[in-house]
Amino acid sequence: MSEENNKSNEEKVINSVAAGFFYGEINESAVFPFPNFTDEQKEMALAMNDAVTKFAEDNIDSEKFDEQAFIPEDVVQGLAELGLMGLAVEEQYGGMELDYSLYSRVFSEIAGIDGSTATMLGAHQSIGYRALINEGTEEQKAKWLPKLSTGQAIAAFCLTEPSSGSDAYSIKTKAVDNGDGTFTVSGQKLWITNGGRADFYSVFCKTDHEIDGKQVEKITCLIIEKEMEGVSFGEKENKMGIRASETRAVYFDKVIVPKENILGEHGKGFKTAMNVLNSGRLSLGSGCVGGMKSIIKLAVEHAKGRKQFGAPISDFGLIQEKIASMVSRTYAVESIVYLTTGNMVRGMNEYFIESAICKVFGSESLWEVVDTGLQIAAGCGYMREYPYERIMRDARINLIFEGTNEILRCFIALSGIKGPSESLQELGKISEMSSFLHDPIKSLGVMKDFASNRLSNMFITKSLTEVHPELQEQADVFSSQLSGFAIAVENTLIKYGKNIIGNEYPQGRIADMATELYVQLAVIARTTSILNNDSIEQDKKDYCLKISKLALRDSRWRSVAAMKGMTKNLDKVVKEVSDMACKYEGYGLDIIEF
């Protein structure tokens, strides 16, 4: 993208693209032109990635790290010397001050080399001290960021507890106000990456607050340091994958913490945590891209070198199908990640739906690509002397990290339908649309607007005007699916009303449709940008166009399946079978009996 385009885009107010889908709307100015890297960004990314690759060749032994379940200290310090411990930190505090797109691209490079190393670095800066970057005071930043950005100190993010996973509100760790400018913190945190290795902990605690004369508990984020009395750790967890990254329980036994260690607003820690996780999910999505690229390289090398029936297996149709699927999936994930980060650079502030989509679609795509790569490698893939099984073990955690994909599907759906639900509530009880409105006369104008918008979504296709002619057919499919999605959201709200919160089957389908719309739009925009760029050689343009057509076809199929499931499904049977399996404490059948 030219400097002129960058400047003009920076002046625009960019709202969440994915949130607009729920109204049947699309803001093309936030998508076209696709936010490509500037020349300056390219130069920085190439230099950093080259340094990372050279360092890794001499210092990162993934097999050894995995076997010993440890990353040597000299490797950690070497990464710090490259600037990899402070990628997003301002230069005045010793960091690299990379924007979101550059941060993601460098992190992707690291993740493509070693999952454990990426996990350690991500837990340190993507979430460990991200709250300090986001909401820290100038005094707090000056005190801790110089150490954290240069590797003199390592950070950890402490939210999860034995009884609290995705339900952050249920944490038990308590910070009691002593009335003398300090808190006493007691509790425990579970599965904390960098747990025993860290020096700086972003700890989320319950604190007491008086509201309208009543005592209520809210969440507050506190900085706790390892050297504080009362901080201790559990044994290092013996994990299936990312074994070299350290995971431990962290215990706080009457730890005295000064009030100046409050990160963000007192009692607003839940929002602080969610903002941190929004950034972390983007890093995870970009890391998945790096992992997929590594697997594709391994799979292609094997397919070209492995001969059967007198020909390399890369000549066989079913192997070609697998390779093409791996490539198109990677292109799709890369497109949604960098559409998101590019818009963040250009000023998009609300990106929580996009970041959740990147995490869900990215982690599931990585898992599919890893599984496919191992299948291409066949017997070699199953043997520990090859890297496939280790990469598979490392990749599996991504579907669980930073909010399980099941919880995030609910998050995507409920976050997205919040706006349309508020619009529908103006009409009366959304679960009782067939009954009279509370005030029919007053509601006539609202009803007219609602009917007009609904008819627009039903019969007027909002075409993409900036798309390249080679992708017009795919763009028309996107527009049609966008209109259908908005109607499906409204129908769901009318059917369930506020009870949609307790119905995860439609939530999951809504999330999947929103995800596929975002995938299609990002791929169309990115490929349009490539096809319009005269500096790109024709061979690469043709390659990208073919990849995009595969990615868009597959996305369309997945979206159609989710849409059909909104009205034709076996949800009731699914629930009944699950309930019976729980009743029988397992499968509950034996062929011997019947």
Q: Give domain status of residue 23, yes or no.
A: no
pLDDT at 74: 96
In a domain, 6, yes or no: no
Residue 7 within any structural domain of the chain: no
The total number of residues shown for the chain amounts to 594
- From the list 109, 334, 354, 402, the catalytic residue is 402
The reply to whether 142 and 189 lie within a common domain is: yes
Asked whether residue 285 falls in the same domain as residue 175, the answer is yes
Last residue of a domain, one of 365, 399, 433: 399
My answer on whether 458 and 486 are in the same domain is yes
Do 373 and 484 share a domain, yes or no?
A: no
d(CA 152, CA 103): 20
Q: What is the DSSP letter of 262?
A: E
**Using CA atoms, how far apart are residues 18 and 83, in angstroms rounded to an integer?**
33
Rounded CA separation 31/33 (Å)? 6
Pairing state between β 247-258 and 182-193 = antiparallel
Q: What is the pLDDT of residues 336-369, one digit of tens each?
A: 999 999 999 999 988 999 999 999 999 999 999 9
Range of the structural domain that residue 237 is part of? 34-399
Residue with tokens 């300056």: 40
Question: For 209-218, which contacts have Cβ atoms below 8 Å and span 24 or more sequence positions?
Answer: 209/266, 209/267, 218/267, 218/268, 218/269, 218/270
Q: What is the pTM of this model?
A: 0.92
Phi, psi of 453 (to 5 degrees): -65, -40
Residues 387 and 339 in one domain: yes
DSSP helix/strand/coil, 540:
helix
Q: Give the contacts of 198 (CB within 8 A, at least 6 positions apart).
A: 124, 128, 153, 154, 155, 156, 192, 226
Instruction: Provide the pLDDT for residue 424.
Output: 59
Residue where a domain stops, chosen among 399, 427, 445: 399
**Are both 159 and 245 inside the same structural domain?**
yes
Residues 6+ apart with CB under 8 A from 145: 86, 89, 90, 93, 94, 95, 129, 132, 133, 136
Q: Are residues 390 and 411 in the same domain?
A: no
Which of 344, 370, 399 lies at the terminal end of a domain, its last residue?
A: 399
CA 540 to chain centre: 28
**Tokens (6 digits) for 274:** 């969610």
- Number of domains the chain is built from: 2
> Could you give the CA distance from residue 375 to residue 363 in angstroms, rounded to a whole number?
18
Could you read off the pLDDT of 84-105 as tens digits, one per residue? 999 999 999 999 999 999 999 9
Strands (E) across 382-474 are located at none
In a domain? residue 592: no
Residues 366 and 447 in one domain: no
Tell me if residue 95 falls in helix, strand or coil: coil
pLDDT of amino acid 457: 54
CATH number of the structural domain spanning residue 376: 1.20.140.10
Residues 377 and 431 in one domain: no
In a domain, 553, yes or no: yes
Q: What is the pLDDT of residue 448?
A: 41
| Regions of the chain short of the pLDDT cut 70 | 1-13, 423-461
Examine the domain organization and report whether 384 and 423 are in the same domain: no
Give a yes or no: residue 585 inside a domain: no
> Residue 458: its pLDDT value, please?
53
Residues 306 and 175 in one domain: yes
402 assigned to active site: yes
The confidence score (pLDDT) of residue 167 equals 76
In a domain? residue 593: no
Domain-embedded: residue 511:
yes
Residues 308, 196 within the same domain:
yes
Residue 85's pLDDT is 97
Q: What is the pLDDT of residue 426?
A: 52
| C-alpha to C-alpha distances, 466 to 24, 128, 529, nearest whole angstrom | 18, 40, 10
